[in-house]
Amino acid sequence: MLDAARAATRVRGSGLSATSPVILWGFSQGGHAAAFAAEIAPTYAPDVNLKGVAMAAPVADVSNFVKRAEAWPEQFGLLVTIAYAFAKTYPELRLEDVLTPEALADVGAIENQCVQEITALYNRPIGDMLIKTPRDVPAFAKRFNESLAGQVNVDLPILVLQGNIDQIVDPTATDALVRRYCDLGVPVSYLVRTGENHNILTDDVLLPWMRGRIAGDQAPNNCSENPSSQKGASAGP
């Protein structure tokens, strides 16, 4: 994300420059990327003029995401995808510790199919696929914890949006992300939309919030209200 911002400022005729204001924005897994891009920006991209970070229904807690999938046949393919990606990245992780031979036989599909096709492929009895949840394998659990967003203070205002009936990202995991940021003193504007699932409406909130950050207005912060998806719609910007 940070490299994309850098590249955009170098496009001829764009009207942008190296000092142009940048806001990171991500939805779902993109929200996870935005959170970590903000965390590493001071050391990885101090030249990028960041003004804020916005995310909707972010996958902020990989372990919690796995927990939901491990008991949900229609979403079990997400667990397989996560375990596969982590094992491919970190050599100390072994898929054989968590998946049965039957499940392992089809992991190659992850390389050339979309997530909807993977979840359909693995929509089978979980007992035939899972040996042990990766959350209970110490090596996996350690790597999952490293990917928990919100453990580092971010010197930027943050906007978080979440639907309270999201069937993909657990709303309580987003609540926890917001609490972690708030406890670190990060100014967070958190909006929960009642009756909205994963495809949450965002433009009506996102665009005014972005304009405010670029204009230099004081960032809205409702941390003191302890907003939560369990309390119905909470006020945002």
* DSSP string across 95-157: GGGTB-HHHHTTGGGGGTS-HHHHHHHT-S-GGGTBSS-GGGSHHHHHHHHHT-TT-S--SS-
Cα diameter, the chain: 57
CB-CB neighbours of 232 under 10 Å: 11
Q: Does domain 2-61+156-231 have CATH number 3.40.50.1820?
A: yes
Helices (H) and strands (E) in the chain, counts: 9, 4
Q: What is the pLDDT, as a whole number, of residue 232?
A: 57
Res 34 pLDDT > 60: yes
Amino acid at 35: A
pLDDT for residue 233 is more than 60: no
Cα–Cα distance for residue pair 36/49, rounded to 1 Å = 16
The per-residue pLDDT of the chain, averaged, comes to 94
pLDDT mean over 104-133: 95
Residue 227 pLDDT > 90: no
Do β-strands 49-56 and 158-163 pair in parallel, antiparallel, or remain unpaired?
parallel
Q: Give 59's strand partners.
A: none
Instruction: Tell me what the mean pLDDT of segment 95-108 comes to.
Output: 96
pLDDT of res. 235: 47
Rounded Cα gap, residues 108 and 87, in angstroms: 13
Sign of the Cα torsion 132, 138, 140, 144 reads positive
For the chain, the structural domain boundaries read 2-61+156-231, 74-146
**Range 153-159 average pLDDT:** 96
Separation CA 128–CA 100 (nearest Å): 7
